[in-house]
Amino acid sequence: MRLPSAILSPFLHFFYPHNCLGCGSDIIEAENFLCLECINNLPHTGFALHANNPVEKTFWGRITVVAAMSEFYFSKDSIMQNLIHEFKYKGNRNVGLYLGNIMGKSLLSSNRFSDINALVPLPLFSEKESKRGYNQSFILCAGINEILHIPVITKNVIRIIRTETQTKKSRIQRWENVEKSFSVLESQRLEGKHILLVDDVITTGATLEACGAEILKTAGTSLSIATLAMATK
């Protein structure tokens, strides 16, 4: 006997709250986080395929980057903001894995990232990570790893100084604020590798630049960068 869905669904939703994280619609497949319409409306950049894309240009004259990409455009009050909020502040790691999978598929479809040997999540301060329970960039790396099967190196590049809020600072002040924030613990784990440094949202690129510069001090490393989203003004 089939129970009427009116009885079933509230019961199921109690255990498995399931609305589209983009628009709130409940017309959504069980294994998805978004309805089909929101999936179709995701603001992919296509940058993975293109040299000299805006993310790569961000690092010109700053650090040597083999290739860089952001999977999505980020803007306020958008689907992306909802998704990022969900996995960064509401503890929904599965959303992060899902987004990491999407990044992995784009990286796989591009020959520009084909010789990466290790994924490194942009580290958080240990205090911040303990408070949140995880590093959101690590979750993205885990999602990328599910597609590319490239090892994730964690706890090797660490963040050592608390930086103040960046928003009211000039680019130079921002750089001074973050440049000494990172340290590599056992550099032999990175030696000779082409590292993909992963972060959630790129704005000025100052933090990625500082972390990337520290990684590049290790002999024989080369650096590429992948972020989930790029902030647009």
Subset of 118-157 contacting Zn ion (CB under 5 A): none
Q: Residue 32 CB, nearest distance to Zn ion (Å)?
A: 9
Whole-number Å distance between alpha carbons of 180 and 166: 15
Shortest distance, position 135 Cβ to Zn ion, whole Å? 28
Q: Which is nearer to Zn ion, 20 or 228 (CB)?
A: 20
Residue closer to Zn ion, measured from CB, 20 or 195: 20
How many chain residues bind Zn ion (CB under 5 A)? Answer: 6
Residues 36-95 that bind Zn ion (CB under 5 A): 38
Tell me the closest approach of the beta carbon of residue 40 to Zn ion, in angstroms.
9
CB nearer Zn ion, residue 38 or residue 210: 38
Q: Is the Cβ of residue 35 or residue 95 nearer to Zn ion in the bound state? A: 35
CB of 18 to Zn ion, least distance (A): 12
Residues 7-46 that bind Zn ion (CB under 5 A): 20, 22-23, 25, 35, 38
Residue 69 or 229 with smaller CB distance to Zn ion: 229
Interacting residues toward Zn ion by CB under 5 A: 20, 22-23, 25, 35, 38
